[in-house]
Amino acid sequence: MTTSGSIALWIQPRSRRNEVVGLRDNAVVIRLTAPPVEGAANEALRRFVAERLGIAASRVALVRGQSSRRKWIAVEGFTADEVRCALLGLSDPQ
């Protein structure tokens, strides 16, 4: 998987809906409806990020924080800034 860095996320499981809320301590805050059991929230996170970027979930890798609310992901073919901007609904970082 070719990536250009990872992006920090703060995950809030068992929320009412899947959504990006903003930033917290330089991490993108994401609310997910999935519970934090047996990897359900991690898989929901991969699918959510992939959907926001318009790519396959297999291109989203959870690189750190598998059992924590603070997680780091890397996305094949995207820089960390591109992922952050896409999640937050900002224009391209260039």
- CA–CA gap between residue 3 and residue 11 (Å, rounded): 22
- Taking only the tens place, the pLDDT of each residue in 8-63 is 999 999 999 999 999 999 999 999 999 999 999 999 999 999 999 999 999 999 99
The answer to whether 76 and 2 are in contact (CB under 8 A) is: yes
- b/e for 33-65, b at 16 or more Cβ within 10 A? ebebeeeebbebbbbbbbebbeeeeebbebeeb
pTM higher than the cut 0.75 = yes
- Taking only the tens place, the pLDDT of each residue in 33-48 is 999 999 999 999 999 9
Q: What is the DSSP letter of 78?
A: -
Element (H, E) at 40: helix 40-53
| Choices 3.30.1200.10, 3.50.50.60, 3.90.580.10, 3.10.250.10: CATH for 7-88 | 3.30.1200.10
